[in-house]
Amino acid sequence: MFQEGDELEITGSKYFGEEGTISVIARRIKDMKTGKELLLRNGSCRPMWHGMRNR
């Protein structure tokens, strides 16, 4: 879906690891050129790949 060099907008949350590392937990990734979006988490930040379980 995404190619090297694409301009992307990533929406999510910062996560601070125990060793001082900073990671991003992505909720949505948007291709700024095409407008296509990849939704990874729902509004409650639950992973979309969990399907209908644990709602």
Residue bearing tokens 């990671």: 23
* AA letter at 25: I
Sketch the domain layout of the chain as residue ranges. Answer: 8-50
Q: What is the pTM of this model?
A: 0.72
The Cα–Cα gap between 18 and 22 comes to 9
* AA letter at 13: S
Residue bearing tokens 């939704």: 39
The Cα–Cα gap between 18 and 20 comes to 6
Count of beta carbons in the 10 Å neighbourhood of residue 11: 14
Tell me if residue 49 falls in helix, strand or coil: helix
Tens-binned pLDDT, residue by residue, of the chain (55 aa): 788 999 999 999 998 998 999 998 899 999 999 999 999 998 888 888 876 555 4
